[in-house]
Amino acid sequence: MITGHYVSLTYRNKSVDVYYETAGSGIPLVCLHTAGADSRQYHPLMKTAEVTDHFQVLAFDLPCHGRSMPPEGWWEEEYLLTTNDYVDLIFQFLKAAGVKQPIMMGCSMGGSILLELACREPQMFRAFLPLESAAKTPGRLNDYLYHPQIHGGEMCAENVYGTMAPQSPVKDRKDIWWIYSQSAPGIYYGDIYFYSEEWDAREKLAHIDTNACPIYFFTGEYDYSCTPEMTEETAAQIKGAEICIMKQLGHFPMSENFPLFYSYIKPVLNQFKEG
């Protein structure tokens, strides 16, 4: 059973109520959503008894996303997520939700930020599972999101639709389209600012210690936002990192074809379940 909760966090010195969902019990597994989306992306994982019998799965909506409201005065400045903002919100959430030594899973920008956590505080975590993650992912900002003759929500949804594998079930791909069409104006753009412009871990990779916390990369072969080659280049610079290029999957593996995605991550999760 999935249950919803709220915790009070601080975003840029302003209080904000952040929504999160949880399912199961056991080892904490915290999941981070993609740019412009929310925790609904992890519902298939949360509804899998094999997972929730052994793991407490948690996924939260960043401020301004999903069912997390924006902070007071949000209309006074443009929303542009930064690395420090993101890291701070993650640490605040873990503390507020009482989560210790979690496995961290994140996709796209949620996968990228795991590399920053691995640089800063690896001892706080049990493992990192970055999905569709690389040290740098340039070229994703799209000014057509603000074009006066283009519907921003539809543009946002169409912008991500092509990054999924054509083999993935149409319903699952359309559900992802639906989630992306719902983000507020400027939110997807502000997340992509972090993901494609501000974020850059290329000079940090050599300092990541997988003995302190292991890293398992997973990237879909059809992803042209974070290509397999980009993930391979990133993983090659982290001693001890493991990598899996997932056949017949794209940029949203946990949502676009969960049974296939689960077949890839299950062996890794089993290592911790048995440990």
Lookup result for tokens 């048995």: 274
Question: What is the rounded CA–CA span in Å between residue 210 and residue 130?
Answer: 13
Model pLDDT, residue 154: 81
As a whole number, mean pLDDT of residues 31-54 equals: 98
What average pLDDT does the segment 250-264 reach?
98
Burial class (CB within 10 angstroms; exposed 0-12, middle 13-18, buried 19+) of 88 = middle
- pTM equals 0.95
Angle between helices 152-161 and 170-181 (to 10 degrees): 150
In the block, tokens 């991500």 appear at 160
pLDDT tens, position by position, 264-275? 999 999 999 855
pLDDT value of residue 156: 77
Q: Which two tokens stand for residue 213?
A: 């916390």
Q: What is the pLDDT of residues 164-190, one digit of tens each?
A: 999 999 999 999 999 999 988 899 999
Residue 186: name the closest of 272, 65, 60, 30 by CA.
65
Quick one: pLDDT at residue 23? Answer: 99
* Eight-state DSSP code of residue 68: P
Residue 71: its pLDDT value, please?
94
* CATH number, domain with residue 58: 3.40.50.1820
**For 99-141, how does the pLDDT look when each residue is reduced to its tens digit (9 = 90+)?**
999 999 999 999 999 999 999 999 999 999 999 999 998 867 7
Of all residues in the chain, what percent carry a pLDDT higher than 70? 98
Spatial CA neighbour of 17 closest among 49, 61, 47? 61
Instruction: Average the pLDDT over 218-235 and give the result.
Output: 97
Taking the C-alpha atoms of residue 138 and residue 207, their distance in angstroms, rounded to an integer, is 22
pLDDT for 193 equals 94
Q: Which domain holds residue 191?
A: 3-274
User: How many domains does the structure of the chain reveal?
Assistant: 1
Give the CA count within 13 Å in the CB-facing half-sphere of 272: 26
pLDDT of residue 153: 78
Burial of 72 (0-12, 13-18, 19+ CB in 10 A): exposed
DSSP state of 20: E
What pairing do the DSSP bridges indicate for beta strands 55-60 and 27-32? parallel
